[in-house]
Amino acid sequence: MKLKKLTSLVLSGAMVLGMAFFAPSKADEVSKSYFDDMKSIATWSKDDSKVDLNLKLDLTALGDAYKEFSTNYNLKLNSTMDTDANIGKLNAKFSSSVTDSLGIPEVTLFFDKNDLYVNKDVFNLFMYSSGYNKTTNKDFVKMSFDKAFANAMGVDTDFYKEILEQNASKEISEKMYNYLSKIDLGIDFGLVKNGNTYKINWNSDKIVDVTNAYVKFIFKNPDFFLKMYKEVFGIDIIAEMKKTDSTMTEAKFKKSLNDALVEWTKEVEPMLPKVKKIIAGSSITLEENFGKEEYTQKFNFKLAVDLARVSEVFEGEKYTKPMVISATLSSNAVSKKMDKLDLTLPTNVESFDIAKFIKEEEARIQADIKKMEEEEKKLAEQGPVYDEEKPYKVTVTPATNELRVYYKGEEIAPALKLETKIVKGVLYIPTQMMEDEILMKVLDTAESYVPFKATMEKNGYKVSWDNKTKTSTAILNK
């Protein structure tokens, strides 16, 4: 499956599942009004949005070891979008007392239909954590999605552009909402409308019931989703599945969903009353207001899990008292329709061809490996050189980076520190250390590292490896 199609499936699937789960999926006047309001917001071509996400963990029931993690994790997202021009800006800032010491940088991204701009701190951190010796002093790095990059990723050259256009398409949004409005789970969502404000308030029982109804709807209605993906996103799910499973047919796909429905009804559904006890105290509240030029959302999802109930249900232990841990995700969002946006792309930028860079890095690594292999071959061709002053035993322990040298039974103290390398299972040590501390001779090599075993063997030593102590030992042949 090409990445373009795979990404479209993942993005659209996540979007549909998320929206359908919290949307009032019951064919009545209130839900129809709700989706009409959603479609009106989707027609905005310019908007400015702010989202304040907060995750609060309460793990105190697990003991003092988890006390420091029982705190708030906050993410602030600010975005400015012009979907007609396919240009936008996203800023994200994460904070938490647990992770503040890690120095997680603030993220700022700009994008248009061709390029992505990443702020300096994020780019430098990414390259460092990926093991690349590359940094920038410019404010932003422009990462172009050119043909080389697209081909390297297994997609066509219009991948990035098509993803942006798909997410910005008002036509796609309207088609999607039309499909979602047709979903009827046969359960009262408890949606309340007051003017332009819609509210949902679910307890733990309602969360389980809605989840069960939605899962069963998916399993029972394969035609609905096959048609929706094809007509809304232009994706033939069966054709895409055939690329990884040549035996896939529509009948086989439908049978797999029916088998899943039978398994769910037989194995999972009977457990749901117990699940309700386990997550008692959980809740979801959602409040959305649709104005002509402003949309607001307040969302709160608390998941409480009684670990004592879990032990009772799955391990047969006697229930004595609750042992509850919880995670509460809250969100406050506001999006404003804009007639005009002050949105310009960065100018203090460094262009970065990621495909070319990775290709050059791979070539450099292969060249280094080739040099080491050639050096090992060269040393293997040299005859042994004996010297009365040479140590009778030498040990190298890579795990601790320690070198020990013995003369006439006496170890040189203290142990010497050295930086070792292991390439394709071969232990390498610094050339200078081999010359100055072990062999007391200049080696015929320009490399900064030499293979320990091959070098010692060609200089009159027998080398062995102790897997228990993880140590390589060289003993001078008599």
Give CA torsion, residues 415, 421, 425, 426, to 10 deg: -70
- Tell me what pLDDT residue 425 has: 84
- Tell me what pLDDT residue 323 has: 94
Is-contact 1 135, C-beta < 8 A?
no
Confidence of residue 162 (pLDDT cuts 50, 70, 90): low
- Tell me what pLDDT residue 166 has: 54
More confidently predicted of 392 and 165:
392
- The dihedral built from the CA positions of residue 401, 406, 410 and 416, taken in this order, carries a sign that is negative
Cβ count within 10 A of residue 88: 20
Is the pLDDT at 397 greater than 70, yes or no? yes
Which of 6-10, 30-34, 285-289, 437-441 holds the top average pLDDT? 285-289
SS3 209: helix
CA angle, 45 then 51 then 56, to 5°? 155
What mean pLDDT is predicted for residues 48-58? Answer: 95
In 32-71, where do the E strands start and end?
46-58
- Tell me what pLDDT residue 169 has: 63
- Tell me what pLDDT residue 185 has: 80
- Tell me what pLDDT residue 333 has: 95
Longest Cα–Cα distance of the chain, Å, equals: 99
Confidence of residue 184 (pLDDT cuts 50, 70, 90): confident
- 465 vs 396: CA distance, rounded Å: 10
β-pair type (140-144, 349-352): parallel
% of the chain at pLDDT higher than 90: 42
What mean pLDDT is predicted for residues 141-164? Answer: 56
Token duo for residue 228: 């929706």
Cβ count within 10 A of residue 156: 14
- 350 vs 348: CA distance, rounded Å: 7
Is-contact 35 181, C-beta < 8 A?
yes
| Nearest CA-CA partner of 351 in 145, 85, 168, 211 | 145
What mean pLDDT is predicted for residues 359-381? Answer: 80
Is the pLDDT at 57 greater than 80, yes or no? yes
Token duo for residue 148: 């080389």
Is-contact 34 287, C-beta < 8 A?
no
% of the chain at pLDDT higher than 70: 85
| Nearest CA-CA partner of 390 in 455, 447, 448 | 455
- 377 vs 443: CA distance, rounded Å: 14
Residues 6+ apart with CB under 8 A from 379: 443, 445, 450, 451, 454, 455, 458
Is-contact 197 288, C-beta < 8 A?
yes
Long-range own/partner contacts, residues 409-415 (CB < 8 A, 24 or more apart): none
Task: Reply yes or no: is the peptide bond before residue 105 cis, omega within 30 of 0.
Answer: no
- 414 vs 399: CA distance, rounded Å: 17
Is-contact 428 373, C-beta < 8 A?
no
String of b and e for 23-46 (b: at least 16 CB within 10 Å)? bbbbeeeebebbbebbbebbebeb
| Nearest CA-CA partner of 86 in 3, 35, 36, 145 | 145
pTM, 2 dp: 0.67
Q: Left, alpha or beta for 219 (phi > 0: left; psi -120 to 50: alpha)? A: alpha
144's enclosing H/E stretch is strand 140-144
- Tell me what pLDDT residue 409 has: 56
- At 90-131, the pLDDT tens digits run 999 999 888 777 788 999 999 887 788 999 999 999 888 887
Task: Compute and round to an integer the Cα radius of gyration of the chain.
Answer: 31
- At 409-431, the pLDDT tens digits run 566 657 888 999 988 889 999 99
Token duo for residue 476: 């001078």
Confidence of residue 157 (pLDDT cuts 50, 70, 90): very low
Residues 6+ apart with CB under 8 A from 39: 173, 174, 177
Is the pLDDT at 204 greater than 90, yes or no? yes
Is-contact 420 428, C-beta < 8 A?
yes
Confidence of residue 145 (pLDDT cuts 50, 70, 90): low
| Nearest CA-CA partner of 382 in 326, 290, 444 | 444
What mean pLDDT is predicted for residues 200-228? Answer: 90
Average pLDDT in the chain: 83
Long-range own/partner contacts, residues 74-77 (CB < 8 A, 24 or more apart): 76/50, 76/51, 76/52, 77/49, 77/50, 77/51, 77/52, 77/53
Token duo for residue 380: 């293997």
The secondary structure of the chain in percent helix, strand, coil, rounded to multiples of 5, reads 40, 30, 30
What mean pLDDT is predicted for residues 29-54? Answer: 87
DSSP 8-state class, residue 114: S
Backbone angles phi, psi at 453, to 5 degrees: -65, -50
- At 292-328, the pLDDT tens digits run 999 999 999 999 999 999 999 888 899 999 999 999 9
- At 263-287, the pLDDT tens digits run 999 999 999 999 999 999 999 999 9
Half-sphere exposure of 51 (CA within 13 A, CB side): 15
CA distances from 176 to 39, 161, 196, 347 (A): 9, 20, 21, 37
